[in-house]
């Protein structure tokens, strides 16, 4: 395990207390105790590195998706599916965090990104996309928006960090810097508004303009829902054209 099992066992041994083990207890007994506490089904989930947040002095903003706290979710990790586990998505460094709900919650675990295939949290599903050739996220986590026949839309959630001096030291502020990614013909493109979409698909410009006028209020009140609905509409036009 990358969050070294010997280190975990040392933490476990310290937490439980040396008196809990006699000299006759073997290392295997300690491992068995570890597995019993974590649960055999979840042991593999803690194959990661210990995470420490170095930017806790904030102005009330946060580096995570939807707040500071952990939330129940599910993750497919290293080929195994883990439901109903505690997860937190770090948008600053694009990492998925977890922790145990029992005695081992004394530390946070940063899962190995390459082992995370997908995860769900707060009712949103995120997948790891590979070789996107995007400048800021060649490989990373993206929220699924619309998965169609000709094109798919994803949202890239990110945070930018700013800092300023205060009486309590350096204070940090985290700002959303999200954008959309449109997959067309197996290629990924950054889009931030409807105009970017018709630049990619000039043959659909008229339909996109008409759609934008019809759903102008939605584009202002809920830009993500607008973009999802737009790509769904365009993908449907492509199917009709082929028929």
**CA-CA distance, 154 to 66, in Å (whole number)?**
18
**Secondary structure letter of residue 65 according to DSSP:** T
Domain range for 237 is: 193-243
Cα angle at 226 between 231 and 208, to 5 degrees? 55
Same-domain pairing of 104 and 213: no
- The whole-number pLDDT of residue 42 equals 52
Domain annotation covers residue 1: no
Q: Measured in Å, how far apart are the chain's first and last C-alpha atoms?
A: 53
**Secondary structure letter of residue 58 according to DSSP:** B
Same-domain pairing of 179 and 134: yes
Instruction: Output phi, psi for 35, to 5 deg.
Output: -65, -35
- Count of the separate structural domains present in the chain: 2
Per-residue pLDDT tens digits of the chain, which is 243 residues long: 444 444 554 454 454 454 444 554 554 454 444 445 555 445 678 888 889 999 999 999 999 999 999 999 999 999 999 999 999 999 999 999 998 766 555 678 999 999 999 999 999 999 999 889 887 777 899 999 999 989 999 999 999 999 998 877 899 999 999 999 999 989 999 999 999 999 999 999 999 999 999 999 999 999 999 999 999 999 987 654 443
- The whole-number pLDDT of residue 39 equals 55
Same-domain pairing of 127 and 205: no
Contact assessment for residue 228 and residue 146, using Cβ atoms and an 8 Å cutoff:
yes
- The whole-number pLDDT of residue 103 equals 56
Contact assessment for residue 90 and residue 161, using Cβ atoms and an 8 Å cutoff:
no
**Secondary structure letter of residue 122 according to DSSP:** T
- The whole-number pLDDT of residue 10 equals 46
- Residue 144 C-alpha from the chain's centroid: 11
Task: Record the pTM.
Answer: 0.78
Residue 204 neighbours by CB distance under 10 Å: 18
Same-domain pairing of 112 and 89: yes
């Amino acid at each position: 395990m990358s969050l070294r099992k010997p280190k975990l066992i040392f933490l476990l041994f310290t937490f439980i207390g040396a008196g809990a083990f006699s000299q006759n207890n073997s290392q295997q007994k300690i491992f068995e105790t570890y597995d019993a506490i974590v649960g055999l089904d979840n042991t593999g989930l803690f194959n990661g590195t210990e995470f420490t947040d170095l930017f806790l002095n904030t102005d009330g903003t946060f580096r995570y998706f939807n707040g500071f706290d952990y939330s129940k979710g599910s993750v497919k990790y290293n080929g195994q599916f883990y439901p109903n586990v505690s997860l937190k998505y770090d948008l600053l460094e694009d990492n998925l965090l977890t922790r145990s709900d029992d005695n081992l919650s004394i530390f946070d675990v940063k899962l190995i990104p390459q082992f995370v295939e997908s995860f769900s949290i707060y009712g949103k599903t995120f997948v790891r996309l590979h070789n996107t050739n995007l400048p800021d996220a060649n490989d990373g986590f993206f929220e699924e928006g619309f998965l169609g026949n000709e094109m798919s839309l994803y949202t890239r959630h990110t945070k930018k960090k700013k800092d300023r001096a205060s009486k309590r030291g350096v204070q940090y502020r985290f700002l959303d810097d999200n954008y959309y990614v449109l997959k067309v013909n197996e290629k990924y493109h950054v889009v931030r508004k409807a105009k970017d979409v018709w630049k990619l698909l000039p043959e659909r410009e008229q339909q996109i303009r008409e759609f934008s006028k019809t759903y102008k209020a939605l584009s202002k009140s809920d830009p993500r829902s607008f973009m999802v609905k737009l790509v769904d509409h365009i993908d449907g036009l492509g199917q009709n054209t082929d028929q």
